[in-house]
Structure 1
Amino acid sequence: MHPRAREFAERAADEHGFEVDVHEFPEGTKTAADAAAAVGCDVSEIASGIVLSAGDDLVVVVTSGANRVDTSKVADLLGVESGSVSMADAGDVKATLGWSIGGVPPFCHDGDVPVFLDETLADHDRVWAAAGTPEAVFPIDPDRLRDIAGATVADVAE
């Protein structure tokens, strides 16, 4: 197992008592479509971790791979101007969350940031999320994901 995926699995167990079943795919799971093809599920079952910048703060939006994040909806949720929310800088993501873009898990972040969970993920019994690298994912019940991540379920899709 890749060291970063192992670190995520260990942190999830230590911090949340959650045993992560990491699946690694050397061909990568960089896009939701790639992840769905690798796992053998529908793209709507991919829980993509999108990191946004809202002024000086970051926010993680875990959205269905079938959806695009509506930054104006996220801005409304945060109570900030809609134009102030955009894709986060890769360096800021790594420095704040401890993970690199493409492998950001929905929980086990170094910094305390708000997490929003796309309400459409609740339509599934299981979703697949990043496990610390662009080649690693893990399955999880959406309700469990919400609880562990301390996420707010919201309409975040365009």
Structure 2
Amino acid sequence: MSDEAFTESSGDQTLPDSARRVAQLLRERGHTQSVVMLPETGKTSAEAAAGLGCSVAQIAKSILFRRREDDAPVLVVASGANRVDEKKVAQQVGEIARADAKFVREKTGYAIGGVCPIGHATPPVTLIDADLLELDSLWAAAGHPHAVFNLSPQELVALTGAPVADVALREA
């Protein structure tokens, strides 16, 4: 990966407010990796992977749903290479619906494209894609569409406290 691919933030003052908040939260939880800023948006897994020089599978994308019975946020952290099977998620957490941008911002405190797996305004019901555990290294959004941080699948599970589940759509 080239040094021009992204800028590592050694000081939080160079980060947008939402990414600075994530960097602080990560430090408080003992995570030692810095938040980095991509020169281009990381709104899609493909964009983030291209900017980081990693595989799309290594992008731990955060997808938020709305649980129908109580309007609770449901966060699925999935491999960037996978589509989420909403039926599998519903079997785990109850019937779900897609979340619009207003719901995402209100429940997480982050804009779509920058939803971090941790630090939400309303703690979500969270599931971790089992396929992520097959990888050595992951990149997750850090509160801003250009901000990401590196972690292992085991660190993702520890940071979120979420169960690992089969959530990937498998083509027949």
Alignment TM-score, normalising by the size of structure 1? 0.92
Percent identity between matched residues is 42
- Of stretches 91-100 and 42-51 in structure 1, the one that deviates more from structure 2 is 91-100
Q: Distance in 2 between matches of 1:19 and 1:27?
A: 24
Q: Is the 8 A contact 1:61 1:118 kept in 2?
A: yes
Quote the offset at 1:113 in angstroms: 1.3
Give the total of aligned pairs: 153
User: Of 24, 27, 33, which residue of structure 1 is paired with 2:46?
Assistant: 33
Q: 1:66 aligns with which of 81, 99, 102?
A: 81
**1:30 Cα shift?**
0.9
Question: How far does residue 128 in structure 1 lie from its aligned partner after superposition?
Answer: 0.3
* Among 89, 103, 107, the residue aligned to 1:96: 107
Q: Which runs of 5+ in 2 are unaligned?
A: 1-14
The letter for the 2-side match of 1:149 is T
Matches within 5 A, 1:123-142: 123-142=134-153
The answer (yes or no) to whether the contact 2:76–2:129 under 8 Å persists in 1 is yes
Q: In the TM superposition, what is the alpha-carbon distance from 1:9 to its structure 2 partner?
A: 0.5
2:27 is matched with which residue? Answer: 13
AA partner of residue 77 (structure 2): V
Inter-partner Cα distance in structure 1 for 2:33 and 2:67: 30
Q: Distance between the aligned counterparts of 1:100 and 1:20, measured in 2?
A: 22
The 3-state SS of whatever aligns with 1:99 is coil
How far, CA to CA, are the matches of 2:75 and 2:34 in structure 1?
22
CA contact (8 A) 2:105 2:112 kept: yes
> Which consecutive unaligned segments of at least 5 residues does structure 1 have?
none
Partner amino acid, structure 2, of 1:39: L
Aligned CA distance change for structure 1 residues 98 and 20 (closer, same or farther; 3 Å): farther
Task: Kindly report the root-mean-square deviation, in angstroms, between the aligned alpha carbons of the 2 structures.
Answer: 1.2
Q: What is the CA–CA distance in structure 1 between the aligned matches of 2:67 and 2:85, rounded to whole Å?
A: 13
Partners of 2:35 and 2:23 in 1: CA distance: 7
- TM-superposed deviation, 1:13: 1.9
The alignment partner of 2:20 has SS state of helix
- Structure 2: how far apart are the matches of 1:34 and 1:51? 19
Q: Note the C-alpha offset of 1:19.
A: 3.1
Q: Distance in 2 between matches of 1:52 and 1:77?
A: 13
CA radius of gyration, larger in: 2
Q: What is the SS of the residue equivalent to 2:131?
A: helix
> Could you report, residue by residue, the CA deviation over 1:68-106 in whole angstroms, capped at 9, with x for unpaired residues?
01111000001x2xxx42221211221122111110101
- State the secondary structure of the residue aligned to 1:61: strand
In structure 2, the partner of 1:113 is 124
CA, structure 1 residues 4+20, in 2 after alignment: closer, same or farther (shift >3 Å)?
A: farther
TM, length-normalised to structure 2 = 0.85
